[in-house]
Structure 1
Amino acid sequence: MPIAPNFTSRLEQDWEITFLQCYPNGYLKYTDLCNILQLTAALHAELGGISFSDMQVNHQAWVLSRMRVEISRLPKWKEVVTVKTWINSLENSRSIRCMEMYIGDEKIIGCETFWAVFNTQTRRPENLALPHEHFEKFADRATLHPFSKIDFQHEMQIVGTHQVKLSDLDIVNHANSVKYLEWCLDCLDLAIIHNQKIDSFEMNYLKEVSLNDTVEIKQKTSEENTIFAIEREEKTCFALQLHCS
C-alpha cells in the first residue's frame, strides 16, 4: 500500500480495554497488553507503507526478536488507553521501536521492541527491501533500562510442556510471539498475576517453533527475578525474565 495521507512519524492510538482482555480481577492481561502494543506498531507500519502486506511482495515480514516492558500499573476494564509509538532506529535488517501507554497524561507503561526482517520463504533474516526514509527516527527511549541478555545458562526446573497447536500460529506460520509469554505465565504462581506484582518483564526470541512441535517450559526463581526458558529438542527457543515487586 502507498504511504497513507495521514501518516506521521509518531503515532498515537486509543484503545478501550474490553472484558475479553482482562483477568478475573478486571486488570488487563499481560498477554493482551503485548497484543495492544504490537497492534499499534502494526498500524504505524501499515500507515507508513512497511506493513506485512507491503513486505510480502518481497517475501519479507517483521519478526520480534526482543521486547522489554516496564509497568507502573496495569489498565482496567473499560479504561481508555493511548499508545504512542515511534521508531528509534532502522538499519539494514534491524529496527528498534518504542511504545508508551498512557491514561490521560499519566504514563503507565513503557516498552521497547527489537525487530528483524525475516524472509518467509528462506526463514532467514535479510535487509529490508522497502524504502523507509520517510520515517523520521527519534532518539527518545521509552524504558528506564535497555535490553539485557537473559541468563538462562543454569539448572532450571521443568514446569510444563506444550505441543504447538493451530491456535498458537500467526500469519507468518509460526508460534505467535505472545503465545510464548502465555505458556510461561500459565505456569506462574497465580498470586503474582492477581496482585499485579510484575513491574517489568523482558523477552528474547531465539528460534521459531512450528505446528506440532513439542516444547518444554523451564523455570528458575531467585530473590530478584523469575526466569523462564522454552526449549525444543534441548535447544532454547525463548527466554523470559520477570521482575516482581
Structure 2
Amino acid sequence: MLDTPLMPLPHDGHVFTTNWPMRAGDVDKNWRLRLDGIARYLQDAGFDHLDAVDARAEHPAWVVRRSVIDVIQPPEFPSLVHINRWCSGLSSRWCSMRVRMTTDDGGLVETEGFWINFNAETLRPARITDRFEKLLSGTALTSRLRWQQWISDSPGPDDAVTPFPLRSTDIDVMAHVNNAMYLQAVDAALRTRPELHEVPTRTVIEYLVPIAPDDDVLLRTRHGEKDLTIWFTVGGKVHAQAMVLPLH
C-alpha cells in the first residue's frame, strides 16, 4: 500500500484550480515549504474549493483520516503555488481528494487525502449531497471507496520515546489537535535524516483517534535504514502514525 501510485491529473471532469504566494512562516531554514505548511495549504484549498462550487454550507465539517504527501521537488520561497484539486475516489460519506502543487521554478508536490464529511452538530459521518457527489464523481476512479490502513507496523520497546507537549494553538474548531500540527513533529524528526531531504520522498500520515487538548502525548520514533516511522501515542494507544520513505 505504501508504494501505491497517485492518480494523474485528469483531462476531463471537474478540477478546481487556485494559487497563492508562499509565506515565510511556512518554510524551513533553507526556504523550502515544510510538511506542516503543505498540510495547511491542503486545508485552505479544500475550503476554497467548497466555496467555489457553493458546497460549504451543506458540508461545513471535514476530517482528514490520511494524507499522502509526495515531495518530488520542494517548492521554495518566494514562489506562487499553483494548485489543482480533484476527486480520485468516492463513497456516500467520504472521498479521496488529489491535490497537485506546482511552482514556476519546478516545485512539485503530489498529495492525496482521505476526507470524511461530518455532521457539524452530531459529529458523525454524514452523506455527501447528491449535487456535490455528482460533481466529484466526474474524476473519481471508484464510487465504492473504502478505508484501509496503510501503515501496519506497531511501536516496539526499542523505539525512541519523547514527549510531544500540546499548545493551545494546536487545537482546532473540532476541539482536537489540527492535522497540520502532527507534521511539525515529523519535520523535527527529519532533521536527523538529511538524506531524506535530498531525494523525492513520500510521507504518509494516518489519523486514527483524535488527540484532545489535555492528552499527554508521547512520540515513539523508529529510524529504519531508509525510512522513518513515528507513532503518536496517548496512554500507550496509537492515535496517529506517520512514515517517511524515499520514492522509487
Q: Classify the TM-score, shorter chain.
A: 0.7 to 0.9
In the alignment, the residues of structure 1 paired with residue 107 and residue 141 of structure 2 have an alpha-carbon distance, to the nearest angstrom, of 15
Stretches (4+) displaced over 6 A: none
User: Per the alignment, do residues 196 and 41 of structure 1 end up closer, same or farther by CA in structure 2, a change over 3 Å counting?
Assistant: farther
Counterpart amino acid of 1:185? D
Shift, 1:105, TM fit:
8.9
Q: Residue 138 of structure 1 corresponds to which residue in structure 2? A: 139
Q: Residue 19 of structure 2 corresponds to which residue in structure 1? A: 14
CA contact (8 A) 1:86 1:137 kept: no
Q: Residue 153 of structure 2 corresponds to which residue in structure 1? A: 152
Shift, 1:98, TM fit:
0.6
CA contact (8 A) 1:48 1:135 kept: no
After superposing the two structures, state which structure 1 stretch, 39-48 or 182-191, moved more: 182-191
What is the aligned counterpart of 2:31 among 26, 43, 66?
26
Counterpart amino acid of 1:84? N
Q: Residue 94 of structure 1 corresponds to which residue in structure 2? A: 94
Shift, 1:38, TM fit:
2.3
In the alignment, the residues of structure 1 paired with residue 54 and residue 175 of structure 2 have an alpha-carbon distance, to the nearest angstrom, of 22
User: Per the alignment, do residues 242 and 96 of structure 1 end up closer, same or farther by CA in structure 2, a change over 3 Å counting?
Assistant: same
Q: Does 1:237 align with 2:243?
A: no
What is the aligned counterpart of 1:36 among 35, 38, 41?
41
Relative to the length of structure 1, the TM-score reads 0.81
Secondary structure in 1 matching 2:29: coil
In the alignment, the residues of structure 2 paired with residue 71 and residue 234 of structure 1 have an alpha-carbon distance, to the nearest angstrom, of 31
Q: Residue 7 of structure 2 corresponds to which residue in structure 1? A: none
What is the aligned counterpart of 2:51 among 46, 49, 63?
46
In the alignment, the residues of structure 2 paired with residue 105 and residue 18 of structure 1 have an alpha-carbon distance, to the nearest angstrom, of 16
Q: Residue 70 of structure 1 corresponds to which residue in structure 2? A: 70
Shift, 1:178, TM fit:
0.8
Residue pairs, 1:123-134, within 5 angstroms: 123-128=123-128, 131-132=131-132, 133-134=134-135
User: Per the alignment, do residues 71 and 219 of structure 1 end up closer, same or farther by CA in structure 2, a change over 3 Å counting?
Assistant: same
Secondary structure in 1 matching 2:184: helix
Relative to the length of structure 2, the TM-score reads 0.80
Aligned residues: 228
User: Per the alignment, do residues 99 and 214 of structure 1 end up closer, same or farther by CA in structure 2, a change over 3 Å counting?
Assistant: same
In the alignment, the residues of structure 2 paired with residue 82 and residue 40 of structure 1 have an alpha-carbon distance, to the nearest angstrom, of 11
Counterpart amino acid of 1:229? W
Q: Residue 145 of structure 2 corresponds to which residue in structure 1? A: none
Q: CA RMSD in A?
A: 2.7
In the alignment, the residues of structure 1 paired with residue 77 and residue 121 of structure 2 have an alpha-carbon distance, to the nearest angstrom, of 40
Counterpart amino acid of 1:88? S
In the alignment, the residues of structure 1 paired with residue 115 and residue 208 of structure 2 have an alpha-carbon distance, to the nearest angstrom, of 12
Counterpart amino acid of 1:213? D
Point out where structure 1 has 5 or more consecutive residues left out of the alignment. 1-7, 142-146
CA contact (8 A) 1:217 1:228 kept: yes
Q: Deviations over 1:122-153 (max 9, x none)?
A: 44333335741234531479xxxxx8611232
